[in-house]
Structure 1
Amino acid sequence: MSMPKDEIRTELARAWGQYLAALGKSISWLEKHIEEAKQMAGVCTAEWCQATEHVIDDLNNALFSVSEPRWIDAEMSAELKRLKRKIYDLYVNYRGVYAKAA
């Protein structure tokens, strides 16, 4: 019979994996839209830029406000670090689009 601790950790690991996957999907979606905006002159209206910046801020807060659980495996830890770098790069990319529109 497994200990409740094992079941809890298994469930938390599954949820943590889903959380990272959802963050990764959101970042990729936003990255795609920012890349598309680069190709279209004038797409970065004040409303679009403000909305995009809010989404980036929300994703950034979601990534950096949680502490990394000590029990996650090395693969999930690496994914968290990769997503943190990616959101930083995404913001730099967004600022480039914003600067062109300003």
Structure 2
Amino acid sequence: MNQWHKEVMQDLDHGWTTYLQGLERSLKQLDRDITETAGMADACTDEWCQATEHVLDDLTNYIFSIHEPRNSNPENTRKIKELRRRVHELYAKYKSASARPANV
């Protein structure tokens, strides 16, 4: 592999890593929000449910539309699989929290 190709691949790998880190931060933030809301008796409103479901749908689409790059490092491949697993778990957590009616 020549130097130019090596540099291009390193740049691409860095881009993938940054993108995956952003998705991971978004999932963590959404997880915190769902956990907080599940603990509050009157927070599970229709508005909250709709907003949360839209964010979850978007994140799910982003994560599952990723085609693992051919020359990706093994850590990024592992991270993609982990994000896919976590988004499933987060959706189940959301459904549990949204099943409780709000005290409006």
Fraction of identical pairs, as percent: 41
* Secondary structure of 2:82 counterpart: helix
Which residue in the other structure is 1:74 paired with? 74
Structure 2 counterpart of 1:40, one-letter code:
M
Give the alignment's Cα RMSD to 1 decimal: 1.1
**Which whole-Å deviations, capped at 9, do the CAs of 1:53-85 have from their partners, x for residues lacking one?**
000000001101120111111111111100110
Inter-partner Cα distance in structure 2 for 1:95 and 1:67: 27
Aligned pairs for 1:9-48 within 5 A: 9-48=9-48
Aligned length: 101
Structure 1 counterpart of 2:61, one-letter code:
N
Shift of residue 87, structure 1, vs aligned partner: 0.5
Inter-partner Cα distance in structure 2 for 1:68 and 1:13: 11
Which residue in the other structure is 2:90 paired with? 90
Gaps of 5+ in 1: none
Shift of residue 30, structure 1, vs aligned partner: 0.3
Inter-partner Cα distance in structure 1 for 2:33 and 2:50: 14
Inter-partner Cα distance in structure 2 for 1:99 and 1:88: 17
Please, which moves more after superposition, 26-35 or 62-71? 62-71
Runs of 4+ in 1 over 4 A off after TM superposition: none
Shift of residue 35, structure 1, vs aligned partner: 0.3
